[in-house]
Amino acid sequence: MSLDKATVARIAHLARIRTDDAQLDALVGDLNNILGFVEQLNEVNTDNVEPLASVTGHGLPMRKDEVTDGAYPERVLANAPERAHGYYAVPKVVE
């Protein structure tokens, strides 16, 4: 598989990274290079192989249903680039 410029532009938009034309040209080369490299995996026979879910070897630990966290809006908002009336503020979203 090989990526063209339009696909890279679509992927960049999906990843929300603004890219100009020159950057797109460079990325097309780099990404195709990397994809070419990883496509070696096609040589490996993986019929009947279950994908690895985790290396930990233990099950999913669960916690009790207790309120143990939160109630510190100041800590939550402390690093916000912009805030107003206890909310995070962002450019207006039109639905």
| Chain residues 46-65 in contact with other proteins, contact rule CB under 8 A | 46, 49-65
Q: Does 67 bind other proteins (CB under 8 A)?
A: yes
Q: Does 38 bind other proteins (CB under 8 A)?
A: yes
Q: List Cα–Cα distances, 53 to 49, 86, 91, in angstroms.
A: 12, 40, 39
Q: Does 22 bind other proteins (CB under 8 A)?
A: no
Size of the site for other proteins (CB under 8 A): 73
What one-character DSSP code corresponds to residue 12? H
| Closest approach of other proteins to the CB of residue 37, in Å | 5
Contact 88, 82 (CB under 8 A): yes
Q: Does 21 bind other proteins (CB under 8 A)?
A: no
Q: Which residues of 10-44 are buried (b: 16+ CB within 10 A; e: fewer)?
A: eeeeeeeeebeeeeeeebbeeeeeeeeeeeeeeee
Q: Does 2 bind other proteins (CB under 8 A)?
A: no
| Closest approach of other proteins to the CB of residue 85, in Å | 7
Q: Does 1 bind other proteins (CB under 8 A)?
A: yes
